[in-house]
Structure 1
Amino acid sequence: MEEHTTNPDTYDVEGVAQAVYADILTSIRYGEVPPTVRKFEELHDHIDANDYIQEVPWGTDLPADPADPAGVRLINAVTDRVDALLAERPPTV
């Protein structure tokens, strides 16, 4: 079986983070998530935030693999950028 690794340097982390952020803003608009959320991990208090990561287009048919250490780095890079976007956002959408 061929082994795949996920290298965060070969992915559009900014593009994926922007897609996740857009989905979060939609959830805020629909009242699923409060507008006071400022970190990705805070989303887990309201919904299964992992769905945001699983549902965005990664630009490849090889998704971030949480079992692969490089996949974890990729997911962390995306959620770190989402944290920054949430922190920069005004308290209202």
Structure 2
Amino acid sequence: MPRTCEFSLLHYLRREVFSPQARKDRSPLSVTLSLPGSETNVAPRTFNSLIREGFALHSFPPSMHKRSHGEQHQKRIAARNRRQRHRSRVGEKDSRHKSPVLGK
């Protein structure tokens, strides 16, 4: 896809699909984009595929950003570390590593 086409498509999406006014006017289940030589039907939630094809993430509203697996993983680790820090302050053992034999 040539850069100019890509830009005009982004421009179109920004203006016609994602502008607050367009959202008020209608709530499209899908948007039909007419590209030269092809007709693509894009459901609002499948913009990941567009992003994968080189569209910038920041041109879509945050509700459409999909968290990458790595990001989720980082959050999970951060949460675990927070719990760990708290436990070491309070003096608790990590409940995930309890011995199966009671009293040990």
TM-score, normalization by structure 2 = 0.31
Which structure is larger by alpha-carbon Rg, 1 or 2?
Answer: 2
* TM-score normalised by structure 1 residue count: 0.34
Structure whose residues are more often strand by fraction: 2
